[in-house]
């Protein structure tokens, strides 16, 4: 028996546009896991995040204030472990991070991670290397939802694509531009998937209305469907929660 895991990646621009439209976009995609970049992290950030989760009928599963990352899960998804790692600091640049949750849907476990890379090419590449090292240490196959802040020809994107499948390029709607939302020209958002996980489809979802997509954020979301088969399930460590800093 095969279960399908629906993972949505979405840069919501700190909910500065239309939070109700963001919630409608997310609900229309019927995701199992939602990975948010630029989740609220300033004034009343907890309130904003909780209100969005309620509007979407989801629960907050992971993410912290530093890095502006958040992971939401549907009621049927079991969260067994979560971590939030700060990536190496670069002076005068925004602090970047990686949030990960080990989720179980049915009998399969997947390490779902979210990150938002920098505008600086050197920092992007260095952080992509760190992220790959973190995902490589996971005991379950990994899924990385990421605003890469560069297009597929960039060095950081190419590095990630050498080790993971660019699932955002698959499917009838795959490979389309994600930024800016009103008149998209650049593909800078995607979901990378461990090659052990069969990707059913991926790309900008067709379910949300164009009006909601334009009103919700300056990015378009990326939705990926992954087939989870029962055989060959990797073992996972005991439940733990950690916030650690990597690098110097």
The better pLDDT of the pair 242, 74 is held by 74
Element (H, E) at 221: none
Q: Which CATH number do you get for residue 183?
A: 3.60.10.10
Tokens for 10, please give them: 């979405």
Name the pLDDT band for 247 (thresholds 50, 70, 90). very low
Element (H, E) at 21: helix 19-29
Name the pLDDT band for 248 (thresholds 50, 70, 90). very low
Burial 149-180 (b: 16+ CB within 10 A, else e): bbebebebbebbeebbbbbbbbbeebeebbbe
Quick one: pLDDT at residue 171? Answer: 86
Quick one: pLDDT at residue 245? Answer: 40
SS3 helix, strand, coil % of the chain, rounded to 5? Answer: 25, 35, 40
Helices (H), 63-217: 121-136, 155-163, 210-216
Burial 185-223 (b: 16+ CB within 10 A, else e): eebbbbbbbbeebebbbbbbbeebeeebbbbbbbbbbbb
The vertex-105 CA angle with 99 and 107, nearest 5°, equals 125
* Contact predicate 173/206, CB 8 Å: yes
Quick one: pLDDT at residue 173? Answer: 77
Quick one: pLDDT at residue 230? Answer: 60
Quick one: pLDDT at residue 242? Answer: 37
Of all residues in the chain, the percent with pLDDT exceeding 70 is 92
Model pTM score: 0.91
Among the ranges given (36-45, 69-78, 137-146), the one the predictor scored with the smallest mean pLDDT:
36-45
Domain that holds residue 178: 2-245
Peptide bond into 97 cis (omega under 30): no
Quick one: pLDDT at residue 231? Answer: 46
Q: Can you tell me the mean pLDDT for 124-150? A: 97
CA pseudo-torsion sign 51, 116, 179, 204 = negative
Tokens for 105, please give them: 């849907």
- Helix, strand or coil for residue 67? coil
Among the ranges given (68-82, 180-194, 231-245), the one the predictor scored with the smallest mean pLDDT:
231-245
Quick one: pLDDT at residue 2? Answer: 78
Q: Can you tell me the mean pLDDT for 198-215? A: 97
- What pLDDT digit, counting tens, does each position of 80-133 carry? 999 999 999 999 999 999 999 999 998 899 999 999 999 999 999 999 999 999
Q: Can you tell me the mean pLDDT for 183-187? A: 97
Total domain count, the chain: 1
């Amino acid at each position: 028996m095969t279960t399908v895991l629906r993972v949505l990646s979405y840069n919501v621009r700190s909910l500065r546009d239309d939070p109700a439209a963001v919630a409608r976009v997310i609900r229309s995609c019927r995701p199992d896991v939602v990975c948010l970049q630029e989740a609220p992290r300033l004034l009343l950030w907890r309130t904003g995040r909780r209100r969005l989760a309620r509007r979407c009928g989801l629960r907050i599963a992971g993410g912290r204030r530093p890095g502006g990352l958040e992971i939401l899960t549907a009621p049927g998804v079991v969260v067994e472990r979560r971590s939030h790692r700060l990536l190496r600091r670069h002076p005068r640049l925004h602090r970047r991070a990686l949030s990960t949750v080990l989720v179980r849907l049915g009998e399969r476990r997947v390490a779902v991670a979210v990150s938002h890379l920098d505008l600086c090419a050197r920092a992007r590449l260095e952080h992509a290397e760190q992220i790959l090292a973190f995902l490589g240490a996971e005991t379950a196959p990994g899924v990385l939802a990421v605003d890469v802040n560069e297009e597929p020809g960039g060095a950081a994107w190419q590095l990630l694509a050498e080790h993971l499948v660019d699932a955002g390029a698959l499917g009838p709607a795959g490979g389309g531009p994600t930024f800016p939302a009103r008149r998209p020209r650049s593909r800078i958002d995607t979901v990378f998937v461990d090659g052990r996980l069969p990707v059913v489809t991926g790309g900008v979802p067709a379910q949300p209305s164009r009006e909601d997509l334009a009103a919700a954020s300056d990015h378009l979301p990326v939705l990926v469907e992954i087939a989870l088969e029962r055989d060959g399930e990797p073992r996972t460590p005991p439940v733990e929660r950690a916030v650690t800093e990597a690098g110097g």
